[in-house]
Amino acid sequence: QVQLVESGGGLVQAGASLRLSCTISGPTFSGFYMAWFRQAPGQEREFVARITWSGFNALYADSVKGRFTISRDNAKTTMYLQMNSLKSEDTAVYFCAAPARRRISSLQHLATSYDYWGQGTQVIVSS
C-alpha cells in the first residue's frame, strides 16, 4: 500500500516562505508523476503543481506560478513544495497525491486523476 505523509505546514505572515515535504513509502510507481493540491475551508480541492517522475517537468496553477516550486529528491522518496511570497489566499490544507496508473497529460491537474493521498498539512497565512 502506497503511503504519503505531508509535513512542513504552519502559521506564517504574508510574504513569508514555507517548504512542504511529502514522503513516499510502499510500492514504487516508477515513471509516474506526483502532485500537490490544496483545499481551503468551504472550497473544492484545487490543483497546485505537478512534477514528472524525472523531476524535469513541472506544471503549476496560474495562482502560484512564479511563487511556488515543486521538486523531488534523487531517490524519489520525497517531494517538496517551496512556497515563497505567501498570500492570505494561500491558506489551505495542502495534500500530496500520486496516481495508481498513468493518466494523459491533459488530466493530470484533476484531483480525480489521483488515487493515493496524504492526510494533509495546514498552511495558514496571516495578512
The per-residue pLDDT for 77 is 86
Burial 7-16 (b: 16+ CB within 10 A, else e): ebbeebeeee
**CA of residue 107 relative to chain centroid, distance:** 16
User: How open is the CA angle 60-105-103, to the nearest 5 degrees?
Assistant: 120
The single-letter DSSP state of residue 87 is -
| Tens of each residue's pLDDT in the chain, 127 residues | 889 999 999 999 999 999 999 998 887 656 689 999 999 999 999 999 999 988 889 999 999 999 999 999 877 789 999 999 999 999 999 999 999 888 888 899 999 999 999 999 999 999 9
What cell does 13 get?
A: 505572515
Residue 53: per-residue pLDDT: 84
Measured CA to CA in angstroms, residue 84 lies from 11, 52, 69, 110 at distances of: 14, 21, 8, 24
Q: Shortest CA distance to 36 belongs to which of 80, 84, 100?
A: 80
HSE at residue 85, side-chain half, CA atoms within 13 A, is: 7
Q: What is the pLDDT of residue 61?
A: 98
Beta bridge mates, 18 = 83
